[in-house]
């Protein structure tokens, strides 16, 4: 692991620790987007799995996530977990809310994607890096 990776891991760990300790009231933004903790159920273990993510778009009570995995050819583990069990919890802004996850259908993604990449162009770059169609996940209360 190089020095940049070590520094990134350290900063991310501190961010997560402060976010968790404050219930999401502190350090609630990252990369210009709201930060949240997503708790899914492990598809193999059945145990709760929590991941820190950013949300590029919120619409009413719905929260959108992009399963980009940095443009990797594989979907992120959190996506595989919620695909198998869509009942999740989201901690954001000091509140934990039970939600149901679903993958945006093609026509819905066609409406959401331009809004997402207009403000967060890196997602478009991730899509160009992979042949995988990067899913947009919609979380609803």
Range of the domain at 74: 3-140
pTM: 0.84
**If the chain, 141 residues long, is cut into consecutive pieces of 10 residues, what is the mean pLDDT of each piece?**
68 70 64 87 96 92 96 95 97 92 97 95 94 97 95
Q: In the prediction, which pLDDT does 29 show?
A: 63
Q: What total number of domains does the chain contain? A: 1
pLDDT in the model for residue 8 = 61
Question: What pLDDT sits at residue 50?
Answer: 92
Helix (H) or strand (E) holding 21: helix 3-21
Calculate helix-pair angle for 122-129, 106-119, nearest 10 degrees. Answer: 120
Sign of the CA dihedral with 91 first, then 102, 32, and 14 last:
positive
What's the pLDDT score for residue 17? 73
Task: CATH number of the domain at 93, please.
Answer: 2.30.110.10
């Amino acid at each position: 692991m190089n020095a940049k990776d070590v520094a990134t891991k350290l900063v991310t760990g501190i961010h997560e620790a402060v976010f968790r300790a404050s219930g999401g009231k502190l350090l609630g933004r990252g990369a210009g987007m709201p930060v949240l903790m997503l708790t899914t159920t492990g598809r193999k273990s059945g145990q709760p799995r929590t991941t820190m993510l950013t949300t590029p778009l919120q619409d009413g009570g719905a929260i959108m996530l992009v399963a980009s995995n940095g443009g990797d050819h594989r979907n992120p583990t959190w996506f595989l977990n919620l695909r198998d069990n869509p009942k999740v919890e989201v901690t954001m802004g000091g509140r934990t809310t039970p939600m149901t996850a679903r993958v945006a259908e093609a026509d819905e993604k066609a409406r959401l994607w331009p809004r997402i990449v207009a403000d967060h162009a890196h997602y478009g770059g991730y899509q160009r890096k992979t042949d995988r169609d990067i899913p947009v996940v919609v979380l609803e209360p």
